[in-house]
Amino acid sequence: MLKKKLFASLMLVAGLVVGASASAQVYVAGTVGQAKWNADCNQSGASCDKTGNSYKVIGGYNLDKNFALEASYFSLGKMKATASSGGITGFAEAKGTGFELAGVVKRDFNDDFAGFAKLGLARVSVDTSANVPSIVKMASDTNSTQPVLGFGLTYKVSKEIALRGEVETRRVKIGDEKSSVNNFSVGVQYTF
């Protein structure tokens, strides 16, 4: 399933590139980072790891110098919890992935540095699973459309290549509960 989503994201980016070839309006980017889940999983006797490795593949289109549209596929990593009682240890985890479309407002600070802010909607899928050996094993998948908000900086290394860093927050739905995931990532952006 992950390979299909990644392939679809790459095809989307390739379509953007072909559709506006050599126009300096299209860019692609990839980032890696760390996501922090803000879910309450510290129940009595439970321990949680609410941070996970994240990544994102981005395709963007500059409408003009100050505005752009971005489409991306992202992974928010995993949140894990363990709990022990009576000599039995149970495990649970949640993993988030999704697609988003965002409007981006950009501002050049000088020839090399620029800042941006983005606001959009993300279709987020959270896969959860729990296992208490010899007692219960279950899994579920919750899909929801949620807002995404982000801020970032770019630094031009050359005319086409820029380093990109950003902080984002997305809402997620785990079962009936809503929470948020904050993500910090860095990567490279290439403008055609």
CATH code, domain with 29: 2.40.160.20
What mean pLDDT do residues 160-178 have? 91
Mean pLDDT, rounded, of the chain:
86
The dihedral built from the CA positions of residue 111, 112, 113 and 119, taken in this order, carries a sign that is: positive
Total domains in the chain come to: 1
155, 113 in Cβ contact below 8 A? yes
What mean pLDDT do residues 127-151 have? 88
Q: For residue 104, give the amino acid letter.
A: V
Find the domain containing 68 and state its range: 2-191
| Tens of pLDDT, residues 33-85 | 999 998 776 666 678 888 999 999 999 999 999 999 999 999 999 988 888 77
pLDDT at 5 over 90: no
Q: Which of 30-34, 37-41, 92-96 has the lowest mean pLDDT?
A: 37-41
Question: Which pLDDT value is given to residue 40?
Answer: 73
